Amino acid sequence: VNFGKIQSKIGRVDSLDEDGFPYVGANLQSGDITVGRCADSRTDHSIKLKHTERGYVQKVVLSSNDEGKNFATVSLRQVRSPVLGDKFSSMHGQKGVLGFLESQENFPFTKQGIVPDIVINPHAFPSRQTPGQLLEAALGKGIACVGSLRNATPFSTSSVEAITNQLHRAGFSRWGNERVYNGRTGEVVRSLIFMGPTFYQRLHHMSEDKVKFRNTGPVHPLTRQPVADRKRFGGIKFGEMERDCLIAHGASANLYERLFTLSDSSQIHICSKCKNVANVILRPVSGGRKIRGPYCRFCESADDIVVASVPYGAKLLSQELFSMGINLKFETELC
């Protein structure tokens, strides 16, 4: 395989240099070619971005392995603002998901005019048992007021008494609580609020990478049900627990729609006389003609055939059991 810029039928090559790699800083979108390569026969083997991938080229590395074969790595960079559903965490394992975004002028503020960046539900601390984060905020608040340095390694952490005394000397409550003002009305919030600087990091779990939706798309060739892969526009899983919830609510119409109409609805021909599945075959009729239609090989007749709507998974199961010598019969009822 040779690297180089060639005209590809699978994607755009506008951002590629003559060596087949994109230049640093190029803005690549889904469908663009990231690495241009071809075989000795000039067959196109280029690599393109999937529909969920995009970004600016951060780094391009061309190297070789121990066997002398070349390989290339293209790193992409994206600039994302926090949105609902993004995950954050402190250094104490206090992880959480962004559930509400608000303008800065509507946030509560202190008498010094300090506005918090993150507001945390206090129920997070007894559930995840992270008192170290409270100590970090209190210690950071105390040393920020006096501009000093303190050792915060795990093996020589300041005692609780030293932290509270330092806050008291800085003019705050010993436990870091203070009065804040409502950002919308300007009134004093009745409750004391604990506030302090804490190191927070953004985790790789972002809602943009996990959002999944589907209208129509590919189906599995065997079961004829929607595929499950997000990158292939697969369907959203509707499992046993979701089914049980709809059953408990009595939502039979929704259950019928999810598990049948929008999944793998199909029709089969059943002989109402012997209850076996009829076959659609080409059979002779009077006058030397041949017609194609349902026919029961057990009754050797086409008179008592009815059409039933069943999930394709049920039809597939009956056919696989039939190949093992197990015959399923279907009871039919006119409705």
Q: What is the DSSP letter of 157?
A: P
Instruction: Give every CB contact of residue 114 below 8 A, 6+ residues apart in sequence.
Output: 195
Residue 5 to residue 227: CA distance in whole angstroms: 34
Percent helix, strand, coil in the chain, to 5, is 25, 25, 55
Residue spans of alpha helices (H) in 35-117:
none
- Write out the H or E segment, with its range, that includes residue 290: strand 290-295
Question: What residue ranges do the domains of the chain occupy?
Answer: 2-77, 87-202, 212-261, 266-323
C-alpha span between 131 and 250 (Å, rounded): 45
Q: Which CATH architecture has domain 2-77?
A: Beta Barrel (2.40)
The answer to whether the CB of 93 falls within 8 A of the CB of 101 is no
Query: Quick one: CA dihedral 226, 227, 228, 230, positive or negative?
Result: negative
Q: Stretch 311-320: mean pLDDT, rounded? A: 94
What percent of the chain shows pLDDT beyond 90?
55
Could you write out the DSSP letters of every residue in 187-200? PBPSS-EE-----E
Amino acid letter for position 41: S
Which ranges constitute the DSSP H helices of 110-228? 124-128, 131-146, 160-169, 207-210
Averaged confidence pLDDT in the chain:
90
Provide the 3-class DSSP secondary structure of residue 109: strand
Fold entry, domain 212-261: DCoH-like (3.90.1800)
- The answer to whether 82 and 101 have CB atoms below 8 angstroms apart is yes
**The pLDDT value given to residue 78:** 92
Position 98, amino acid: L
Radius of gyration for the alpha carbons in the chain, expressed in angstroms and rounded? 33
Given this model, what pLDDT does residue 214 score?
87
Q: Is the pLDDT at 212 greater than 90, yes or no?
A: no
Which residues have CB under 8 Å from 155's CB, separation 6+? none
pTM: 0.72
- Greatest Cα pair distance in the chain: 110
Report whether pLDDT(324) > 90: yes
State how far the Cα of 64 lies from the Cα of 66, in Å rounded to an integer: 7
Q: Tell which CATH classification among 3.40.50.300, 2.10.109.10, 1.10.3720.10, 2.40.270.10 matches the domain 87-202.
A: 2.40.270.10
Task: Give residue 52's pLDDT.
Answer: 82
